[in-house]
Amino acid sequence: MTTNGGFEPVFCTIVPPHVLDTLARAEDPALAGPARRTLERDALERTRRRLTTVIGAPALAAPAGAPADRPERTIHDARHKQELPGRKVRGEGAKPGRDATVNRAYAGLGATFDLFLKAYGRNSINGEGLPLKATVHFGEDYNNAFWNGEQMVFGDGDGEIFLDFTIPVDVIGHELAHGVTQYTANLTYFGQSGALNEHFSDVFGALIKQYTLGQTAAEADWLIGAGLLAPRVTGTALRSMKEPGSAYDDDVLGKDPQPATMDDYVRTGRDNGGVHINSGIPNHAFYLAANALGGHAWERAGRIWFDVLTGGELGSEAGFTDFATLTVANARASFGDGDELQAVTKAWEQVGVRTV
C-alpha cells in the first residue's frame, strides 16, 4: 500500500547490487571496503524510501507559474557526509563555479530537461515542471548514484573501480528517467516489468547523451556509463545496448551478465529478478530499430518508445511481449505502414520477443 497516489518510487542505483556484491568479496580491502560501505548505505536509503512511501512523502508541487521552457535546478554539496540535501552551491541561472562535479551535475539535469521538453513536449519529469535537485560529493568513496524519488544523489567513486558519477550524462539521464516512469506507466520493479523500467532509463539516458552531442544512431556509442570505470578496470562502461554482455570483463568486477536475445534470458532471484540483466534484451531491440531507421534516434524510435511509456496503455505489470506489441501498434498508428513499422517489428523478431 502506498499513500502517495499509488506511485511506488523506484530506488534504483546505477551500479546494481549484484556488481557491488562481487566487489565486496574482493581480496584487496581497498576494493572491498568501499563496495561494502556503498552496499550498507544503499540498504539504508532503500529502507528510508520504503518508510517515506508508506508514511506518505510530501507532495512535490511545481512552483506556481513556473515557465515551461527552462528547468528549475538546485545543486547541493554533501561535502563527503551522508546528509541530504547538503549545502546549496548552485541555483538556476547561476554561473558555473570552480567545482567541475557541480557543473556537470547542473548541465546533466539541464540536458535531461531539454530532451524531454524539446523532443517530446514534456515539462520536467512529472510533466508539470518538477524542480530538479541534486547532491554531489555524497559520502566517502561512495560507489553509486541514485534518484530517491525526490532528488538525484552522486558519489565521487573510490577511484579504484569507479570514478566520479557525474561524468556520464547518460547516468544522470538514466536516473531521472526513472522519475518519468514513476509518474507514467509506473512499472513494477521486478521481473520483466522491472527490466522494462530499467530499459526505459537506459533508452532515455542514451538519447539524452545523443541529443546533447547531436549524434546520429550510427555515430552514438550506445554505452551506459562510458567514462565511469577507473583505468585499472577491463571494460568500457556498465552496459552496452549495441552488444549487451560486452561492456566489461574484469578480474575484480566479473563479466557483464546481460543477454541480447530471449535465447539467453536469465532466470534469477537476484537483482529483483534480473532487472538490470534482462533489460539487455529490449535495450538491444531499441538499438536495432534505431540503427535500422538511421538519423537521430530520439525522433522516430525514441518517439514511439516515449509515446508507449506515457500513453496510458502500458500496464504496471507489463512484460516484454505486452510492450513490444504496443510499440508495433504505435509505429503503425503514428507513421503508417512504412520503415518505422518494419524496423520495430524486425527488431523484436531479432531479439526473440513475440508480438501479438
Chain Cα centroid distance, residue 239: 11
Alpha-helical (H) ranges within the chain are 17-24, 29-55, 100-114, 120, 169-183, 191-213, 270-274, 280-293, 301-310, 320-335, 339-351
Per rule CB under 5 A, is residue 144 in the interface with Zn ion?
no
Q: What is the dihedral of CA 89, 90, 96, 97, to 10 degrees?
A: -10
Nearer to Zn ion, 124 or 182 (CB): 182
Rounded Cα gap, residues 182 and 9, in angstroms: 6
Is the Cα dihedral 12, 282, 21, 2 positive or negative? positive
Determine the interface stretch with Zn ion among 8-16, 63-71, 242-250, 314-322 (rule: CB under 5 A).
8-16
Close Cβ partners of 313 (under 8 Å, ≥ 6 residues apart)? 326
Active-site residue (options: 76, 137, 178, 276): 276
Per rule CB under 5 A, is residue 187 in the interface with Zn ion?
no
Burial of 312: CB neighbours in 10 Å, binned 0-12, 13-18, 19+? exposed
Active site residue 175: yes
- Which residue's beta carbon is nearest to the bound Zn ion? 12
Q: Nearest distance from residue 179's CB to Zn ion, in Å?
A: 11
Per rule CB under 5 A, is residue 12 in the interface with Zn ion?
yes
Nearer to Zn ion, 17 or 139 (CB): 17
Per rule CB under 5 A, is residue 326 in the interface with Zn ion?
no
Q: Nearest distance from residue 80's CB to Zn ion, in Å?
A: 24
Cβ contact 238:168 at 8 Å: no
Close Cβ partners of 301 (under 8 Å, ≥ 6 residues apart)? 217, 286, 289, 290, 293, 340, 343, 344
Per rule CB under 5 A, is residue 272 in the interface with Zn ion?
no
For residue 236, how many C-alpha atoms fall within 13 Å in the half-sphere facing its CB?
13
Rounded Cα gap, residues 155 and 143, in angstroms: 6
- Residues numbered 190 to 219 that lie near Zn ion (CB under 5 A) are 198, 201
Size of the site for Zn ion (CB under 5 A): 3
Q: Nearest distance from residue 144's CB to Zn ion, in Å?
A: 11
Q: Nearest distance from residue 174's CB to Zn ion, in Å?
A: 6
Per rule CB under 5 A, is residue 258 in the interface with Zn ion?
no
Rounded Cα gap, residues 329 and 342, in angstroms: 11
Q: Nearest distance from residue 275's CB to Zn ion, in Å?
A: 8
Active site residue 276: yes
Q: Nearest distance from residue 198's CB to Zn ion, in Å?
A: 5
Per rule CB under 5 A, is residue 241 in the interface with Zn ion?
no
Active-site residue (options: 175, 178, 198, 199): 175
Nearer to Zn ion, 260 or 275 (CB): 275
Q: Which residues are catalytic?
A: 175, 276
Residues that bind Zn ion (CB under 5 A): 12, 198, 201
